[in-house]
Amino acid sequence: METVWDRSEQQEPRCGFGEMGICCRMCHMGPCRIDPFGQGAKLGVCGANAELIVARNFCRMVAGGAAAHSDHGRSVARTLLLAAKNPESGYAVKDGNKLAKVAGILGIDPGNKTKEEIAAAVAEKALSEFGRQEGELSFIKQAPEARQALWRGLNIVPRGIDREIVEMMHRTTMGVDQEHKNLMLHASRTALADGWGGSMIATELQDVLFGTPSPVRGQVNLGVLSETDVNVVVHGHEPVLSEMLVLAARDPDMLKLAESQGASGINLAGICCTANEVLLRHGLPIAGNILQQELAVATGAVDAMVVDVQCIMPSLPSASKCFHTHLITTSPKGKIEGARHYDIEAENALHSAREIVREAILNFPNRGNTEIPQEKMDLVAGFSHEAIHYMLGGRFRGSYAPLNDNIINGRIKGVAGVVGCCNPKVPYDREHVDLVGELIANDILVVQTGCSAISCAKAGFLVPDTAHKVAGKGLTEVCEAVGMPPVLHSGSCVDNSRILVALSEMVKAGGLGSDISDLPVAGAAPEWMSEKAISIGHYFVSSGVFTVFGVGLPVSGSETFARHIFEEFEAILGGKWAVEPDAGKMAGLIIDHINGKREKLGIGKARERVLFDMEMRRNLAV
Amino acid sequence: MSKIIATKAIRGAHELVKRAEKELAQAVEEKGPDTRVEFPNTAYYLPISHGILGLNIETLGGLHELLAEAKKLLPPIPGDTLWLPYLGNTLDAGMAALFADEIIEAIKYTQDPLPYLTELNPSDGRLWLGAANDVILRERGIEFVDGTAPGFAACVGCCPSNEIAVSVARELQEKNLYVFMSAGNDGRSMAHQLEEEGIEMGWETRLVPFGEDVTATIHALGFATRAALSFGGARPGDYDRILRYNKNRVFAFVLAFGPVDDLKHAQAAGAINFGFPAIAETDIGRILPSGICTYEHVVSPVEPDKIVAKAIEVRGLKVTVSKVPIPVPYGPAFQGERVRAKDTSAELGGSTLPGFEFVTSKDLDEVEDGRIEVIGPEIDDIEEGASLPVGIWVEVAGREMQEDFEPILERQIHDLINGAHSIFHMGQRDINWIRISREAKEKGFKFKHLGSILHAKLHGEYGKVFDKLQVKIYTREKEVLELLDQVRAVYRQRDARLADMTDESVETYYSCALCQSFAPNHVCIITPERSGLCGSYNWLDGKAAHKINPTGPNQPVNKGAVIDPVKGQWQGVNEFVYNSSHKSLEIFNAYSIIEYPMTSCGCFECISCLLPSTNGIMVVYREFPDMTPVGMKFSTLAGTVGGGVQTPGFIGHSKHYIGSRKFILPEGGAGRIVWMNSRLKEEMAPVLKKIGEEKGIEDFYGMIADETVATTEEEVLEYITKVNHPALAMPSLF
């Protein structure tokens, strides 16, 4: 059986023009490419120079990523509408508190409305954010005031999600926007429409439908697959599918059917971000991250692999054919030749899910030899920003203040979001694990999402005990006080929007400046590969966060462009890009950046204990 | 380590909630769900459930709701491995434990006889005081307002020895902290230890034995909650403000002595919600990172002789105590002590012997700073138990000193001398009376130390207005009598000067925002004819205080154009009040009870309010605990009047204001008074009689009803109709 690593090897040497971002296929006068050594062509046929070509390619990646997250958000909003309007759909509102909060943000007056009526209004309002033509996206209000003002000053507050993506595509087509700085400002607007728009809608409405995550125990790695249970592996991104599979897999009729086929139960395990969704809400096991999708099949123990959208490798049908595994697609947006298709959105989702599980069960007797690796690791995940708020003070004192306080007193130096994909160009999982290990050893609290979180989970970083073994003394003290691991798993890749809200909450909690760009924080995607990662990276940068990518960025073909995003951008938006393939050096960049921010905040040195006399007590806010 | 603490606290909370459930079921079965529950004389229902959850629990049956809330909060116990975050859970468990405490303690108040003494101090061999009533809360609360008491130490358990218990208590007293004692170890608590050592306990000495049960700890946190409700402008149910207020204003902490079991862990977790850290003598682990408390949350083990200093550091409290060079402990906590006749070594002044105390200013070269002379016999020269005349003559000098400040300094003598442990002072001017105990004498206390106290403390607090101070203490009759005539002449001059001052005769009034940290929108305006409503500050005090601390809470207010001389409304005052009430009050009448009346912080001595059917008003003093004719007890009234809002028909004021010519002037003045509580009425008899004379009303004093003749508005009306009270003939109030 061939795997992603085999094919990656076959791609070597990679195309240098592509790696550097200086090939252009926007029109058929080309394809064109710029000679990076200055000996050949300096311009494309149309006259586009290196920075324009690099910028347009970069911008289209942002648009692609933003489109993916946002279309995900749209289908969640549609599902909420379905849940509100049709009690037979199998979906329902699970988290009334979150519904109320989102209704507030969207300006919906709950009045005397029923929960379903509010949900319908929320869904309709959320859907209108996609097609909105003027004004500002509602969720922008979650950002610190200073940040909103900065965006307004630059005229980059997103108007409508679809509008910005379409405009990005338009401006990068042949012969439109030819100023790379101008293009990048719209790239910011597009990326913000993802982070503070499409992704945030996806996250928030998923919470409304399926519950806001709170800390939960789980397990990770291929060892979670069962020899004796029917293994249904769910892979992709949208919990709209996986939540229904969870229900179906717990259905007593299904369990009975499984027994009748000689299985002792039904084991639903996840791959990629769907895995994160079902882990956070149900504690279900994670079989692996993106690069393990073929490996899961290769155990011979997967009775059905059920996929929806994003990061599904086209190699799966051929891998499945080597074993008894049934590959099942569920989204009309993502069909694969050679797979069975069930439309999860058609009619009753739960009914479809049951049919899928039934197919898996009936496939169980067809299993041949299996080889399930022993490796699996315990973990604690589920750190939504609401959960962090509660965890730091309970129902009555919950807030981000203890986090800020311990950053100010230096026990925690700062916070880093380490997210993103896995990439076969680098040794599997290593960049994530090395980077995160180094950061926590330096008292930097790490927040994770996506496949990166799964990599670190396998390394045991999500076990609370890790704090004693790997993390620095200060961070360990805080972890022990709170009972948390030093690495907080916050969800799937759309859940990076949770990190945006958490950063805004940190600003609001006070003591660390007035904008996200004042905070001692950084972002990293050490093994990125997807366009979605570029969109995420750019919405973090545009929200004021220093963001480092590993594996290289396709921008090195233009020094001018690279300088713009690596240096000049900071003066415009407070955040900037960096690229560093070596995890150790990447950690160094993040630590230096965080220390620099600490100096600026005046918390670079250990704080002396202040004792309060009456006069000082009077001046404390209550 | 934190996990062990969390596990114990959560386990303790489960146990307490289970106990509360059992005791509640039993109580409801025995007494019925409609049996009333309350902590006597409190306006705040059961304080924790009222403050934190906004519940108004009045019956045993009503406690079920609180029990349900407690159960809802109970978290699972953290696992041994792969645990989930437990800090938030532990704090919730702590709060659940407090709810359970409150249920259990409330049930105790349905028992007959009451397990608690509802008095200020332990007596008749009964030690435990239980919940503080509102009178105590108001009197003591003001000490938290003005900073005389920075906080309290909730002491649980039992010290390793009685000696340690006494020294810890003394050290806390000297640091001006209240000592709240509860939760014994095997039936023995710190309060028992102090009792065995004959230490005077009670609210007056700040050593308060709440109860032996672990659940009695709730009375400390109930006190904190009520302080936030009374003085902090927090509304019931606004737990966020109540808890933050306590974190940033009330610098309290928990001291745990001896073994700390699960139940005590649960109490500490509850206290941490308020920002109160726990410091333990035995090793229970540590939670060092800050966040919920200002600094550490749990610190242990700490040697008993270092535990007070450590606790103060952990809480982040700066205690400024000017060291008084005397051989006995010194601090405001000792002000409440009495020295009984049988313990007295020497008595000075009093009702049978002449005495005085007097402050006068001199030129700089006439005063030798720190010189203290005793003219006449010292304590060693007299027999045990003897009495002597006394004259305390204090001379101050300094460029900033003014004659107006003399009486202000002089008025401090009472509190300052009383601050010394086992020294007792009463009265003022020429009716002063001092007792020095045998214990003090044994420790080496001499008459000259009275001078040392005055020198150290007056310098500490008023050093800005004078540079030098010397004291002469006369203990021979001859000199005392000679000087007595001289000082009496000065007293008369001073009285005349203040009596002649009217609101019209000065251009500047003084604000008092001393309580603004507690009632953010309240500001007092102090005029010569309307003293501060707490009774502590008159116009001269305001003036002096401003001089002493120009940026302090007392600021000059230029009264500006007179808008209404009868209502007491001035342009300049309106502007000042608008700005310093955070723009919440636009119009302010100093004298009216009905129209835009002056607001109150919550520290008022008296409350006046309309009794509409009588066409008059009633006045009630804060120590009156019973129902008043308006249908509210003082404590409920206080909730209506306080908090910096104008409540037409109600005002809070000082006792002194009753005698002022400006007392509710637009409504017709003191002639409107139809009811007073009897103790206030008796105390104010000379003033009331004078008002009667001035207004030409025969036996005005006798016409005022009190609780002995009328407890309802109808009864008041009946009484005043019978005596033909002048209010009936006055213009209608509406």
A528 within 8 A of A534, measured Cβ to Cβ: yes
CA-to-CA distance for B472 and B332, rounded, in angstroms?
A: 24
Average pLDDT over residues B333-337: 80
- What does the pLDDT average to over B158-169? 96
Strand partners, B272: none
Q: Which residue of B has its CA nearest to A412?
A: B289
The amino acid that residue A255 corresponds to is L
Other CB atoms closer than 10 Å to residue B123's CB: what's the count? 10
| Amino acid symbol at A379 | L
Domain at B508-729, CATH class: alpha beta
Beta-sheet strand order (sheet of B433-437): B386-388, B344-349, B433-437, B423-426
Check CB contact under 8 Å for A481 and B2: yes
Please give the Cα distance from B398 to B462 (Å, whole number).
11
The three-class DSSP label of residue B357 is strand
Task: Say whether pLDDT at B540 is over 90.
Answer: no
Is CATH 3.40.50.2030 the right assignment for the domain spanning B2-315? Answer: yes
Q: Judged by CB atoms within 8 Å, which residues 355-394 of B form the interface with A?
A: none
CB contact under 8 A, A483 and B316: no
- Is B287 at the interface with chain A, CB within 8 A? yes
Contacts of A406 in chain B (CB under 8 A): 289-291
> Alpha-carbon distance B516 to B145, whole Å?
9
Domains in chain A with CATH codes: 1-48 (no CATH), 50-210 (1.20.1270.30), 222-366 (3.40.50.2030), 389-601 (3.40.50.2030)
Instruction: Please classify residue B729 by burial: count the beta carbons closer than 10 Å to its beta carbon, then call 0-12 exposed, 13-18 middle and 19+ buried.
Output: exposed
Q: What is the pLDDT of residues B270-281, one digit of tens each?
A: 999 999 999 999
What pLDDT does residue B516 have?
Answer: 63
The CA–CA distances, whole Å, from B570 to B235, B576, B650 equal: 32, 10, 21
- Which residues, at least 6 apart from A449, have a Cβ–Cβ distance to it below 8 Å? A276, A417, A419, A489, A490, A491, A492, A493, A495, A496, A498, A499
What pLDDT score does B322 carry?
67
Q: Pick the range with the lowest mean pLDDT from A265-279, B139-153, B420-434, B602-616.
A: B139-153
- On the question of pLDDT at B146 being above 80, the answer is no
Q: What is the mean pLDDT of residues B195-201?
A: 93
A268: which DSSP letter? E
Question: How far does A517 lie from chain B, in Å, by closest CA?
Answer: 23
Contacts of A526 (CB under 8 A, 6+ apart): A418, A420, A426, A431, A432, A435, A452, A548, A549, A550, A551, A583, A586
Q: Is B249 on the interface with A (CB under 8 A)?
A: yes
B 84-103 → A contacts, CB under 8 A: 84-92, 95
Cβ of A617 within 8 Å of Cβ of B517? The answer is yes
Ranges of chain A whose pLDDT falls below 70: 346-347
Q: Which residues contact B222 (CB under 8 A, 6 or more apart)?
A: B39, B46, B47, B48, B102, B131, B132
Predicted local confidence at residue B79, as pLDDT: 86
Nearest Cα neighbor of A451 from A411, A421, A416, A481 is A421
Q: Average per-residue pLDDT in chain B?
A: 90
Mean pLDDT across the stretch B542-565?
86
For residue B461, the one-letter residue type is E
User: What local confidence, expressed as pLDDT, does residue B639 receive?
Assistant: 76
Tell the residue number behind the tokens 């050093």, with chain if given. Answer: B463
Contact A396 B251 (CB under 8 A): no
How far is B92 from chain A, CA to nearest CA, in Å? 6
User: What is d(CA A606, CA B12) in angstroms, rounded to the nearest whole number?
Assistant: 37
Which pLDDT value is given to residue B518? 58
CA of B273: which chain A residue's CA is closest? A397
**Strands B569-570 and B562-564, how do they pair?**
antiparallel
CB atoms within 10 A of CB A378: 16
Return the residue of A nearest to B94 by Cα: A394
Tell me the whole-structure pTM to 2 decimals.
Answer: 0.83
Report cis status (omega within 30 of 0) of the bond before B301.
Answer: yes
**A602: closest CA of chain B, how far (Å):** 19
Q: Is B111 on the interface with A (CB under 8 A)?
A: no
State the smallest CA–CA distance between residue B89 and chain A in angstroms: 6
Which residues of A touch chain B, with CB atoms under 8 Å apart? 215-217, 378, 380, 390-398, 401-403, 405-406, 409, 411, 463-465, 477-478, 480-484, 609-614, 616-618, 620-622
Q: How would you write B77-143 as a 3-class SS string?
A: CCCCCCCCCCHHHHHHHHHHHHHHHHHHHHHHCCCCCCCCCCCCCCECCECCCCCCCHHHHHHHHHH
Determine which of A400, A612, A622 to mutate to test the interface with B (most B C-beta atoms within 10 Å): A622
Residues 6+ apart with CB under 8 A from B190: B155, B157, B158, B159, B165, B168, B169, B181, B257
CA quadruple B295, B299, B303, B308: dihedral positive or negative?
Answer: positive
Q: In the structure encoding, which two tokens stand for residue B117, read together?
A: 């003494």
Domain ranges of chain B: 2-315, 332-493, 508-729
Q: What is the pLDDT of residue A346?
A: 60
B233: nearest CA in chain A?
A622
Residue-level pLDDT at A390:
97
What is the model's pLDDT at position B470?
94
Taking an 8 Å cut-off on Cβ atoms, the answer to whether A394 and B91 are in contact is yes
Contact A216 B241 (CB under 8 A): no
Helix (H, G, I), strand (E, B) or coil at B26: helix
Q: Report DSSP state, residue A609.
A: P
Residue of B52, B248, B291 with shortest CB distance to A402: B291
Q: How far is CA A529 from CA A86, A426, B297, in A?
A: 39, 11, 45
pLDDT at A616: 83
> Who among B91, B241, B245 is closest to A393 (CB)?
B91
Contacts of A478 in chain B (CB under 8 A): 289
Size of interface A-B (CB pairs under 8 A): 133
Check residue A570 and give its pLDDT: 97
What tens digit of pLDDT does each residue of B3-41 get? 999 999 999 999 999 999 999 999 999 999 999 998 887
Q: Are A122 and A108 contacting, i.e. CB atoms less than 8 angstroms apart?
A: yes
Q: What is the mean pLDDT of residues B333-343?
A: 84
**pLDDT-based confidence at B515, cuts 50/70/90?**
low
DSSP structure class, residue A184: H
Q: Which strand (E) or helix (H) includes residue A610? A: none
- The pLDDT of residue B346 is 94
SS3 category, B202:
strand
Alpha-carbon gap, residue B96 to B102, rounded angstroms = 10
* For residue B427, pLDDT beyond 70: yes
Rounded distance, CA B317 to CA B276, Å?
A: 12
Q: Is omega for the bond preceding A365 within 30 degrees of 0, making it cis?
A: no
Q: Alpha-carbon distance B25 to B299, whole Å?
A: 38
Whether B351 has a pLDDT exceeding 80, the answer reads no
CATH number of B332-493: 3.30.1650.10
Of the candidates B1, B84, B89, the beta carbon closest to that of A394 is on: B89
Question: What is the distance between the alpha carbons of residues B333 and B330, in angstroms, rounded to a whole number?
Answer: 8
Nearest CA among B92, B98, B99 for reference residue B62: B99
Q: Distance between CA atoms of A54 and A564, rounded to whole angstroms?
A: 12
Picking from B242, B273, B290, B315 by the largest number of A CB atoms within 10 A of its own CB, the best residue to mutate is: B290
**Dihedral angle at the C-alpha atoms of A81, A236, A361, A254, nearest 10 degrees?**
-30
Identify the residue with better confidence: B499 or A165. Answer: A165
- Cα separation, A335 vs A341, in Å, equals 7
Side chain identity, residue B180: F
pLDDT in tens, B285-306: 999 999 899 999 999 999 999 9
- Across the interface, whether the CB atoms of A483 and B240 are under 8 A apart is answered no
Residue B685, CA atoms < 13 Å, CB-side half-sphere: 5
Q: Do B88 and A614 count as a contact with CB atoms less than 8 A apart? A: no
Mean pLDDT of B247-267: 95
d(CA A138, CA A107): 8
Cβ neighbours of residue A159 closer than 8 Å, sequence gap 6 or more: A132, A133, A134, A135, A136, A137
Give residue B321's pLDDT: 67
Is B297 within 8 Å of A481 when comparing Cβ atoms? Answer: yes
Which of A215, A398, A613 lies nearest to residue B84, judging by beta carbons?
Answer: A215
Is B143 in CB contact (< 8 Å) with chain A? no
Task: Among A411, A483, A616, select the one facing B85 at the smallest CB separation.
Answer: A483
Computed from CA positions of residues A412, A415, A420, A426, in that sequence, does the dihedral angle turn out positive or negative? negative
Record: contact B73-A622, CB cut-off 8 A: no
Tell me what pLDDT residue A492 has: 96
Report how far residue A490's alpha carbon sits from residue A419's, in angstroms, rounded to the nearest whole number: 10
Give the residue from chain B lying closest to A621, CA to CA: B248
**Average pLDDT for residues B217-228, to the nearest whole number?**
93
Check: CB of residue B506 under 8 Å from CB of residue B376.
no
| C-beta atoms surrounding B708 within 10 Å | 9
B313 in A contact zone (CB under 8 Å): yes
Any A CB within 8 A of B251 CB: yes
ipTM reported for the complex, 2 dp: 0.94
* CA distances, A443 to each of A406, A416, B51, B237, B490 (Å): 11, 10, 39, 38, 70
pLDDT at B400 over 70: yes
Residue B308 three-state SS:
helix
Average pLDDT value for residue range B316-327: 83
Give B151 to chain A, closest Cα distance, Å.
Answer: 11
